[in-house]
Amino acid sequence: MIKSFKISIYTYFLIIIIIGTNSYAQNIFQSNQYMIYQPIINFSAASSYNQVNFTSFYRNQWVGFKGSPTTFGFMGVIPIKNTAITLGTRVFNEQIGIHNKTEVKLDYAYKLQTHLNRFLSFSISPKINIHQSSYQQIETNTNNDPNFNSNPITVIYPNAEFGLYYFSPKFYLGMSSPNLLYNNPVNNFAYTTQFSLPHITYYIHSGYKWSKPSAYNIYGSIYLKTTYGAPVVGSLNAGIETLKNKLLVGLSYRTTNELVPLLRLNLNKLTLGYAFQYSLSSIRPYNNGTHEILLNYNIKQKATTTLIAPRF
């Protein structure tokens, strides 16, 4: 059974503002597909799913730019029947030039009912980071340079994520910290791991759905993220869903001067998503944009009364 308690929505905003103030972030994986599948950035959003589902996505950033990032992710979400618990796992891998980074996460979320058709979810996700650098791939002017002729260097270090997610049939508000700990590189061979409040990372995302029964849904959402030592990055997102909720067409604008057209197609158990990130900045002449593809597969279960939150 889902436990119930009363708490004002203004309290959620207050919690998020307090946690977000003066916070910064470390390097984190990038994806525009959170607009289709929010557990990518906040596992507590998985509590709004009432079906076992598996998701994979691929991102090719700055196509045509040598050494540009490519990212692959796989996620599994398993709601535990007749409980408020959702379990999952996420694996992300990113290649940037000679550097390869993998994150392996184990996810736990717990859902509380605050009012009728309103829920608040918490999540915690311990994770392991595996960072490998292949310096021998660098071309140098000196043959057999000992500084660039060693075997690949592999470093393993821990971290954890935390998330909050409030949702109702037409509204959601989420906050997550993708890195609760600060992994500080001592050298190429080791990291120190510690809790450092100024380095805590966070995302804030919120959205609303306007519905016209048997016709279409209109979605609006906002997303904010931080990176340590850099300004806050935000995006404004809008989309329209039609054809009996089978097709969604969306557009996002980022404060980093980028446009992101997006498509989502629902085919019974399978959801297909595609996003194209188009740069409007000075880097535009040197690349052919960023492509993202998402595949989500749902394993249908017996009908339940679990609430489904907005998906954009």
DSSP line for 111-135: EEEEETTEEEEEEEEEEEEEEEE-G
Q: How many CB atoms lie within 10 A of CB 243?
A: 10
pLDDT at position 165 over 80:
yes
> Mind listing the domains of the chain with CATH numbers?
9-299 (2.40.160.40)
pLDDT at position 26 over 60:
no
Q: What is the pLDDT of residue 3?
A: 45
Going by C-alpha positions, the residue among 32, 38, 113 that lies closest to residue 290 is: 32
Going by C-alpha positions, the residue among 14, 3, 26, 12 that lies closest to residue 202 is: 26
pTM of the predicted structure, to 2 decimals: 0.84
Alpha-carbon gap, residue 135 to 266, rounded angstroms: 44
For residues 136 and 217, the model is more confident at: 217
Q: What is the pLDDT of residue 215?
A: 84
Alpha-carbon gap, residue 249 to 238, rounded angstroms: 9
* Residue 30: both structure tokens together: 């990038």
CA separation (Å) from 292 to 41, 57, 100, 126?
15, 7, 19, 26
* Residue 157: both structure tokens together: 């270090």
Beta bridge partners of 197: none
Element (H, E) at 156: strand 153-167
Alpha-carbon gap, residue 156 to 133, rounded angstroms: 12
Q: What is the pLDDT of residue 235?
A: 94
Q: What is the pLDDT of residue 28?
A: 72
pLDDT at position 27 over 80:
no
Helix (H, G, I), strand (E, B) or coil at 77: strand
Confidence category of residue 212, pLDDT binned at 50, 70, 90: confident
User: How large is the average pLDDT for residues 112-126?
Assistant: 94
Going by C-alpha positions, the residue among 181, 194, 55, 203 that lies closest to residue 126 is: 181
Structural contact between residues 277 and 32, judged by C-beta atoms closer than 8 angstroms: yes
pLDDT at position 258 over 90:
yes
CA dihedral 55, 56, 62, 66 (to 10 degrees): 160
